[in-house]
A and B are shown apart, each in its own frame.
Chain A
Amino acid sequence: GAVVSQHPSRVICKSGTSVKIECRSLDFQATTMFWYRQFPKKSLMLMATSNEGSKATYEQGVEKDKFLINHASLTLSTLTVTSAHPEDSSFYICSAKRDYSYNEQFFGPGTRLTVL
């Protein structure tokens, strides 16, 4: 149990386009999901906390208008990178916190975004 999927696994896009990444908890409900970003040879950095049915909370320095998060159901959160630029190229990973599981987070396989 506790499987999290992400789609797509890899995306290449032109500068200026928007990209949507989906994060799904497959076998459990998650009122809270998280979005992280990892640059090459760097630590994962928390971008935002996604709460089902309410607005996401963003970490300092993360532009909420650039990275749109929607958590429409207990099993799905989406991250949209709007007007992507080459500096947005990164590895985006989501996680989901299973309710009543002592705050343990389960991670998706990640999405590699390359902006040309």
Chain B
Amino acid sequence: KQEVTQIPAALSVPEGENLVLNCSFTDSAIYNLQWFRQDPGKGLTSLLLIQSSQREQTSGRLNASLDKSSGRSTLYIAASQPGDSATYLCAPGGVYSGGGADGLTFGKGTHLIIQP
């Protein structure tokens, strides 16, 4: 069974800082890995998708890397802004968990607060 751990669980920093959020997973037999943000009481917004054959993906101030063999991914946020405040979720996908293939397994997330 896939297990996902995200470190740190919470982070509060002043705006402008560059941040690294860490994600580790136990089963490296994945098809891809997605990073999401979740605002309080809301659904998920997809930030980046990395295929298992890729090493990293970039979108604006966000960069995500994937080391599939070691079961790790990092999300790098450059020049953080108060609008980046949210919970960030890491979700490796595609591990057959006994029910449906392609389902995502989520970590508990990193709760990020960017202070103005």
Contacts and interface: CB of A to CB of B under 8 A. Distances in A.
Interface in A47-103: 48-49, 57-60, 62, 91, 93, 95, 97, 102-103
A105 interface: yes
A89 to B, nearest CB: 14
Given A34-B100, A97-B102, A103-B93, A43 B107 contact: yes
Contacts of A32: 102
Contact-size category for A = 20 to 34
A103 B92 CA distance: 11
A22 to B, nearest CB: 14
* B contacts with A: majority SS: loop
Interface string A29-56: 0001010100000111110110000000
Given A43-B108, A43-B109, A103 B43 contact: no
Nearest to B107: A43
B46 A106 contact: yes
A102 to B, nearest CB: 6
Most A-side CB within 10 Å, residue of B41, B45, B89, B94: B41
A46 B105 contact: yes
Contacts of B36: 107
A104 B46 contact: yes
Contact of B99 (A6, A60, A93, A109): A60
B43 A109 contact: yes
* A contacts with B: majority SS: strand
A46 B44 CA distance: 14
A112 interface: yes
Contacts of A46: 97, 99-100, 103-105
What 10 A-B pairs are tightest by C-beta distance, nearest first? A49-B100, A59-B99, A107-B44, A109-B43, A46-B103, A44-B106, A110-B43, A43-B106, A57-B100, A104-B49
A84 B58 CA distance: 43
Most B-side CB within 10 Å, residue of A6, A59, A105, A106: A105
A107 B49 CA distance: 13
A93 B43 contact: yes
Nearest to B31: A103
